[in-house]
A = this chain, B = another copy of it.
Amino acid sequence: METAEATAAERPGLRERKKQRTHDALLRAALELFTTQGYEATTVDEIAEAVDVSQRTFFRYFAGKEEAALAVIDLSQEHFVAALRARPAHEAPLEALRNAVLEGWDAIGEAVARIVPVDLYLRSYGMIESTPALLAAHLRRADEVAREIEAIVAEREGLDVRTDPRPRVAVAVFAGVMRVTERLWAMGGDLSMEAMRELTAAHLDAVRPSLAEKWRNS
């Protein structure tokens, strides 16, 4: 049975809420400090102090400094995966991937906004791109997500990943293009979701022309 709840909406109990608050506070403080004074220049002690908890507590909520820095982006990636799963079965693999990423942004923005200010989220991409240690961690996570996506695509088409190379290759192509897009967006001047959408569409459209034998004709 569920425990006693005063109000309607399944309130999760004081303990749980407190935990959530501490978690979010740590996350916000971390991103705030990272984006203003830099990732490396920020110590875990500083973050903990800003939220008035012990350093040990920080490590009970996050496996490390990196995880705090990438938590929000992780969240957005999870949303992308969910968006892909929700695509209708009749769409071709790359069509589904494309639509999931293009249409998923708004939902992602909303989900993020419930935890941290959106501009903090957007700025964190720039921070990642210019911090070697973070970029490395980010790329590894992206690689893991790619594996998840491979499985989804394979299942959509009813194929076995181990025998048919197409799911993996298609996802690899998609992931590669998304990485370029992300890099250009994060380093470029316009850190808006609209800019991201346009860049993404443009680069995905450029895949076929890029594979052509001759580039000179256009």
Q: Which residues of A contact B (CB under 8 A)?
A: 92-95, 132, 135-137, 139-140, 143, 157, 159, 165-177, 179-180, 183-184, 202-203, 206-211, 213-216
**B177, A173: Cβ atoms closer than 8 Å:** yes
**A143, B173: Cβ atoms closer than 8 Å:** no
Query: What is the CB-to-nearest-CB distance from A218 to chain B, in angstroms, rounded to a whole number?
Result: 9
Sample of 29 A–B contacts (CB below 8 Å): A92-B213, A95-B213, A132-B140, A135-B140, A135-B143, A136-B140, A139-B143, A157-B216, A159-B215, A165-B202, A165-B203, A165-B206, A165-B210, A166-B206, A166-B210, A169-B203, A169-B206, A169-B210, A170-B210, A172-B176, A172-B180, A173-B173, A173-B176, A173-B177, A174-B176, A176-B177, A207-B211, A208-B211, A211-B211
A159 partner residues in chain B, CB cutoff 8 A: 215
A175 partner residues in chain B, CB cutoff 8 A: 176
Prevailing SS type, chain A contact patch: helix
**B177, A172: Cβ atoms closer than 8 Å:** yes
When A135-B140, A140-B136, A159-B215 are in contact, do A180 and B168 touch as well, CB less than 8 Å?
yes
Residue of B nearest to A172 (CB): B176
Most buried by B among A165, A184, A216: A165
Query: What is the CB-to-nearest-CB distance from A137 to chain B, in angstroms, rounded to a whole number?
Result: 5
Query: What is the CB-to-nearest-CB distance from A132 to chain B, in angstroms, rounded to a whole number?
Result: 6
> Given A136-B136, A173-B176, A211-B211, list of 17 further CB < 8 A pairs?
A92-B215, A93-B210, A94-B211, A139-B140, A159-B215, A165-B202, A166-B206, A166-B215, A168-B180, A168-B184, A169-B180, A172-B179, A172-B180, A173-B210, A173-B211, A175-B176, A208-B211
When A169-B206, A173-B173, A173-B207 are in contact, do A143 and B179 touch as well, CB less than 8 Å?
yes
A6 to B180, alpha carbons, bound, how many Å?
52
Query: What is the CB-to-nearest-CB distance from A161 to chain B, in angstroms, rounded to a whole number?
Result: 10
A183 to B175, alpha carbons, bound, how many Å?
14
A168 partner residues in chain B, CB cutoff 8 A: 180, 184, 203
